[in-house]
Amino acid sequence: MTRLTRKALKNIVRKTTNNEEVGNSSSKQEHLKSSLKENIKHIQNKLGNSADLVIRKIKIGPENKIDVTIVFTEGLIDTSSLQELIDSLIYKLKPNDIESQDQDNTSLINALKEKAVTIGGVAEIIDFATLTTNILSGHAAFLVENQSKAISVSIPGYEKRGVEEPQSATLIKGPREGFTETIGTNTSLLRRRIRSSNLWMESKEIGRVTKTKVVVAYIKGIANDDVIKEVQERLDRIDIDAVLETGYIEELIQDEKFTPFPTIFSTERPDSVAGKLVEGRVAIFVDGSPFVMVVPSLIVEFFQASEDYYLRADIATLLRILRFSCFFIALLAPSLYIAVLTYHQEMLPTTLLIGIAAQREGVPFPALMEALLMEVAFEILREAGVRMPRAVGQAMSIVGALVLGQAAVQAGLVSPAMVIVVGITAISNFCFPAINLAATIRMLRFGMMALAGTFGLIGIMFGLILLCIHLCTLRSFGVP
């Protein structure tokens, strides 16, 4: 590349950068104007004159000489609260409250904010970007003629789901409340359980298009300051168009991208989040999602249920040991069956070996293909049961598994022992409180089956060693 070409490229880059800086600075300085008509026209153009954008013009003040325009989004605000606001502006604002306007044209705005608007969170707005964001977030904007400022009143009234028992984490003993898709409701459920001034919540907006509200909650003095700083830095580095669920953020802030094991704990239960915060964790709320992320997380936390905190220590310990046992059953039961029948028949008692051999006499497939056939069929039934309507989904999965297993045995495709192994494996997979850990075991099970069918028990031991090494290398926000 010649010296002239390099110089030309530098000039192009410099001009492009300058143009972008000028464009950014001009967009940041897009302030409200004193003309009410121009402000309304600009808002309509910025929002595409949307069908759900409501613009209501009223007159207030002495002899109704002051023009005020109310702008809000239909379906996102509480109409009864808006009517109270309008009544306050028309009837409660006295002539003495409106003083002569000063040079900055701020006295009328102050009068409206301090004496007329008595409900909702009130804020002064001077730029169009903040104004449109508030309008689309359940705020009502009040614009006044000859005023270069606007008032934004928070009166959200959109439809939302009530607080119910979460379906993903049911229990027998304990509270029945679960998070919803509204972030204000979720933070209030947490405040009810932790009435401490040290419970701090910091709000952010992530997503260039969606502008999703994200709240970081922690207990000051208990949570590690380095972890809090790391969480905030990772959230600030996110540059994405849309954030619609916690999964969007989880993939962008986790330590390891290429691992089947979860490194961030997610839950729908407020009591679980409150317990984690008291232990020094940091919670991340995302508006629009009932799941709350908790960091850092340990692998043993995915075996813990909220019910463990409400039971006696001996019973809770027994249940956790049972879950750990189910972990190894769900991961290794089909693999051990394949390895023993294929390479290590001498490990079985003679009577049991003769019985299994008699059952497999008419089966045309080796043990590995037999296990893969049954596991794939059961995964299909499981996925179909989840996606089908709730009224028939559960019955379909249960009846389908029974009919399919019985038909496969009678057809001579699989042995009865294999049906028992696959059944106990599937039941053990449902014992994990964390859904993401159960999905990890389902995926790793097929790898362990392939190792068992190829190398026998040596392959299983090799796979377990690799899993242990991989788990030892994982970090959750710097914590092993």
Residues 138 and 233 in one domain: no
Residues 446 and 384 in one domain: yes
Residue by residue, DSSP assigns 85-150 as HHHIIIII--GGGSPPP-TTS-HHHHHIIIII--SSEEEEE-BHHHHHHHHTTTEEEEEETT-S-E
Domain membership of residue 444 (yes or no) is yes
Count of helices and strands (H, E) across the chain: 16, 10
Domain membership of residue 162 (yes or no) is no
Residues 141 and 196 in one domain: no
Residues 332 and 291 in one domain: no
Q: Tell which of 103, 134, 154 closes a domain.
A: 154
Domain membership of residue 119 (yes or no) is yes
Which tokens belong to 357? 């051999």
Q: Tell which of 297, 323, 345 closes a domain.
A: 297
Residues 250 and 371 in one domain: no
Which tokens belong to 298? 């340990």
Residues 340 and 468 in one domain: yes
Q: What CA–CA distance (Å, rounded) separates 456 from 454?
A: 6
Q: What CA–CA distance (Å, rounded) separates 190 from 455?
A: 51
Residues 293 and 320 in one domain: no
pLDDT, position 222: 94
Domain membership of residue 1 (yes or no) is no
Residues 148 and 221 in one domain: no
Domain membership of residue 159 (yes or no) is no
Question: Exposed, middle or buried by CB within 10 Å (0-12, 13-18, 19+), for 243?
Answer: buried
Domain membership of residue 230 (yes or no) is yes
Range of the domain at 208: 183-297
Question: Per-block average pLDDT, block size 10, for the chain (480 residues)?
Answer: 42 42 48 87 87 86 78 86 79 58 55 69 85 87 85 82 81 86 91 92 91 94 92 93 90 87 91 92 93 92 87 90 93 94 89 86 86 87 76 63 76 85 88 86 93 94 95 90
Residues 150 and 57 in one domain: yes
Q: What is the pLDDT of residues 95-125, one digit of tens each?
A: 555 554 444 445 667 777 776 676 767 888 8
Residue by residue, DSSP assigns 211-258 as -EEEEEEEETTTS-HHHHHHHHHHHHT---S---SHHHHHHHH-S-SS
Helices (H), ranges, 138-203: 183-193
Q: Tell which of 297, 327, 356 closes a domain.
A: 297
Q: What CA–CA distance (Å, rounded) separates 219 from 448?
A: 42
Residues 188 and 322 in one domain: no
pLDDT, position 24: 44
How many structural domains comprise the chain?
A: 3
pLDDT, position 462: 95
pLDDT, position 438: 87
Residues 366 and 399 in one domain: yes
Task: List, in order, residues 6 or more apart from 292 with CB less than 8 Å away.
Answer: 179, 186, 246, 266, 267, 268, 273, 283, 284, 285, 286
Residues 379 and 451 in one domain: yes
Domain membership of residue 289 (yes or no) is yes
Domain membership of residue 30 (yes or no) is no
Which tokens belong to 223? 């949570």
Q: What is the pLDDT of residues 14-63, one digit of tens each?
A: 444 444 443 444 445 688 888 888 889 998 888 888 888 889 888 876 66
CB environment 437-458: b (16+ within 10 A), e (fewer): bbebbbebbbbbbbbbbebbbe
- The amino acid present at 223, given as its one-letter code, is A
Say if CB 253 and CB 236 are below 8 A apart. no
Q: What is the pLDDT of residues 395-407, one digit of tens each?
A: 666 666 777 777 7
Q: What CA–CA distance (Å, rounded) separates 216 from 239?
A: 18
